[in-house]
Amino acid sequence: MAQQLTAKTALDRYFLETRCKIIEIAANLDRIDRGDGAAAAVQDPRMVQIREAVQTLLGDGPGRAEKCQLVFSIPYDDGWSPPNSK
Amino acid sequence: MKYIDPHIHMVSRLTDDYERMAHAGCVALSEPAFWAGFDRGSALAFRDYFRQLTEYEPKRAAQYGIRHFCWLCINAKEAEDVELSREVIAMIPEFLDRPNVLGIGEIGLNKNTPNESTIFCEHLELAASRDELVLIHTPHLEDKFKGTRMILDMLKNESRLKPDRVCVDHAEEHTIKHILDAGYWCGMTLYPVTKCTPQRSTDLIETYGTDRLLVNSAGDWGPSDPMAVPQLILEMRLRGHGEQTISKVVHDNPFTFFSKCRRFKAES
Ligand SMILES: [Zn+2]
């Protein structure tokens, strides 16, 4: 099913929301930096995920949302043994 | 527009929510058995819960012209206790033939543990042996991708269950394709912060089409909004989608899926 919005309309409609969310992210990162123990927090695996996800936003789309989801996901191992496998 | 919310936990909502949903066009809903916010002490507590889902909630919903359906199981979180789970699973058949029961659900995984997998498969066995529909909860956040893939592996091993009689729920950008490609119905949950927004769900509908897709609010004890499906209707309208397309997602698809249950009647 095709997207009905043109790229221009999508930009018009979601620009302010996108701007707002980016500034929220910047402020969240600033808040972490200002707190005691900022140097240790930067090494936290979640901060590593955040940095990787932000890099993903700068990559080519579409598919950025899916790529970001995978950055925040535990990998799947297809070698696991399901209890009902014969 | 008439809509069906195929996944909402009304036991944790006020009667006012039924009224607001009815005003917004809700004509039916289905309520999967889930975690109560605390671990229950015994199988007897589940017996009372199943009575609530099959006796009391349908009456509360009917006051607002909403048809209430439900799904029975022990949820993935409490499934970590294998002994308790087996007692509950043994009790489910007593309730399965009640008129508002659609099948077994929401079973699934929570932290992707071996015990959860064992109990998931035992629920599948019950569903397959009784030819019941299945509704599946996929884990939250970082566990979702791995858990969804594990669930799909276990479903594939239960060859008696036809994919079009199973709905895998709480899909997001990284899991939806795996679910649809395997032939299952796929649910998207509109849930603030941890799941999908109406905007992202609309993106996924535009990307994957409307076939076998369901949208729900999962309204429960946590921060959630029983009016989430009407929000998706608005988002789709604002993006220029026609009424027929929207209605297929929010009404016809859940209706078609529910219709596969032999107890489901088109009219109450
Ligand atoms: Zn649920």
Domain-located, residue A82: no
Burial class of residue A38, CB neighbours in 10 A (0-12, 13-18, 19+): exposed
| φ, ψ for residue B102, nearest 5 deg | -95, -20
Domain containing B201 equals 3-258
The verdict on a CB contact (< 8 Å) between A74 and B121 is: no
Contact B141 A72 (CB under 8 A): yes
Q: Specify the number of domains making up chain B.
A: 1
Ranges of beta strands (E only) in B82-161 are 101-108, 133-137
Identify whether the C-beta of residue B150 lies closer than 8 Å to the C-beta of residue B112: yes
- Per-residue pLDDT of A39-66, as tens digits, reads 999 999 999 999 999 999 999 989 999 9
pTM of the model: 0.96
CATH of the domain at B244: 3.20.20.140
Confidence of residue B191 (pLDDT cuts 50, 70, 90): confident
Which residue from A minimizes the CA distance to B149?
Answer: A76
Q: Is residue A80 part of a domain?
A: no
User: What pLDDT is recorded for position B222?
Assistant: 86
A2 versus B59: the higher-pLDDT residue is B59
Contacts of B157 in chain A (CB under 8 A): 82, 84-86
State in Å: Cα B76 to ligand 1 middle: 10
Considering the domain boundaries, does residue B265 fall inside one?
A: no
Phi, psi of B170 (to 5 degrees): 60, 40
Per-residue pLDDT tens digits for B108-157 = 999 999 999 999 999 999 999 999 999 999 999 999 999 999 999 999 99
The residues placing their C-beta within 5 Å of ligand 1, an ion, are B 34, 218
Minimal-distance CA residue of chain B relative to A2: B206
Instruction: Output the six-digit token pair for A65.
Output: 């949302």
What confidence tens digit (pLDDT) does each residue in B210-250 have? 999 999 999 888 889 999 999 999 999 999 999 999 999 99
Contact indicator for B205, B196 with CB cutoff of 8 Å: no
Residue B56 confidence (pLDDT): 98
Is residue A14, in this structure, part of any structural domain at all? Answer: yes
Structurally, how many domains does chain A consist of?
A: 1
B77-111 confidence digits (pLDDT tens): 999 999 999 999 999 999 999 999 999 999 999 99
Residue listed under structure tokens 């397959």? B128
The pLDDT confidence band at residue B268, using thresholds 50, 70 and 90, is low
Q: Does residue B138 fall inside a structural domain?
A: yes
Structural domain span for residue A36: 8-72
Tell me whether residue B184 is in a domain. Answer: yes
Q: Which residues contact B211 (CB under 8 A, 6 or more apart)?
A: B180
Cα–Cα distances in angstroms (integers) from residue B105 to residues B76, B122, B184, in the given order: 10, 12, 15
